[in-house]
């Protein structure tokens, strides 16, 4: 269990015990939650399709904007509260304590011997593919709308970036842990690279000294 991050009042805890019963169900197929997997992609893909094709079928900007925002909102709720919990055992949320202080909580189900038998790799791939690919597309749409001076669509595209980017950030925090853990990982990596570079330079120095000694001997 990860410790609470005191800098930004976030904490990483184990997924609530009520959901542990899902880990005990027998595995029947590669995709254990087909409905959740479908709606994980349905709302976000539909929002992208409507954004790309709405001008071909409707001349009303308001109708297109409302449709896209509704699809993005449904996607945000479904991914945040349902599909992440069922498909990969992760969940993030926020609560206000008695002092009025906001706390962000990033949850992950505890690993167990039975979980390795019930976790679906297909569902995990679907979840992370949809979670990462769609925000990237909205970022591309944002640059396209900005450079093509489609100002009226810029607000809609920014809404897509914010809503889907929030879910992406939340689940990444659930997956890798708190900011402190990310800092420790980066520090460890840089330390290893520094030591590796030092070893290479020492070896090069020894080789240069040996070469000079050989020339001096002859």
Distance, CA of 30 to CA of 49 (rounded, Å): 28
Q: Which pLDDT value is given to residue 20?
A: 46
Per-residue pLDDT in tens (0 to 9) along the chain, 218 residues: 444 444 455 555 545 444 444 444 444 457 888 999 999 999 999 999 999 998 888 888 999 999 999 999 999 999 999 999 999 989 898 888 888 788 888 888 765 544 545 568 889 999 999 999 999 999 999 999 999 988 889 999 999 999 999 999 999 998 887 445 555 555 555 555 555 665 565 566 556 555 555 554 45
| Spatial contact of 44 and 73, defined as CB atoms under 8 Å apart | no
Q: Which pLDDT value is given to residue 188?
A: 53
Q: Which pLDDT value is given to residue 101?
A: 84
Helix or strand or coil: residue 65? helix
Q: Which pLDDT value is given to residue 72?
A: 96
Q: Which pLDDT value is given to residue 133?
A: 96
Q: Which pLDDT value is given to residue 22?
A: 45
H or E stretch covering 143: helix 121-147
Beta carbons within 10 angstroms of residue 165's beta carbon: 16
Q: How far is CA 33 from CA 24, 83, 119, 184, in A?
A: 14, 9, 11, 35
Angle (nearest 5°) at CA 161 between 158 and 164: 140
Q: Which residues contact 10 (CB under 8 A, 6 or more apart)?
A: 4, 103, 104, 105, 106, 173, 178, 179
0.75 exceeded by the pTM? Answer: no
Q: Which pLDDT value is given to residue 3?
A: 40
Burial of 155 (0-12, 13-18, 19+ CB in 10 A): exposed
Q: Which residues contact 65 (CB under 8 A, 6 or more apart)?
A: 155, 156
Nearest to 86 by CA among 23, 171, 174: 23
């Amino acid at each position: 269990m990860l410790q609470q991050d005191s800098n930004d009042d976030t904490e990483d805890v184990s997924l609530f015990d009520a959901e542990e019963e899902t880990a005990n169900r027998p595995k029947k197929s590669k995709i254990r939650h087909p409905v959740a997997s479908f709606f994980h992609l349905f709302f976000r893909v539909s929002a992208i399709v409507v954004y790309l094709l709405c001008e071909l079928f409707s001349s009303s900007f308001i109708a297109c904007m409302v449709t896209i925002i509704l699809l993005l909102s449904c996607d945000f709720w479904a991914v945040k509260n349902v599909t992440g919990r069922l498909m990969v055992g992760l969940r993030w949320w926020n609560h206000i304590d008695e002092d009025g202080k906001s706390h962000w909580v990033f949850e992950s189900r505890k690993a167990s011997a039975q979980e390795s038998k019930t976790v679906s790799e297909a569902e995990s791939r679907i979840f992370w593919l949809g979670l990462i690919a769609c925000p990237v597309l909205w970022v591309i749409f944002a640059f396209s709308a900005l450079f093509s001076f489609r100002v009226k669509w810029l607000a809609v595209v920014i809404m897509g970036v914010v809503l889907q980017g929030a879910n992406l950030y939340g689940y990444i925090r659930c997956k890798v842990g708190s900011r402190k853990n990310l800092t420790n990982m980066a520090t460890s990596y840089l330390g290893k690279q520094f030591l590796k570079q030092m070893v290479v330079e020492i070896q090069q120095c020894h080789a240069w000294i040996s070469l000079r000694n050989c020339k001096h001997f002859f």
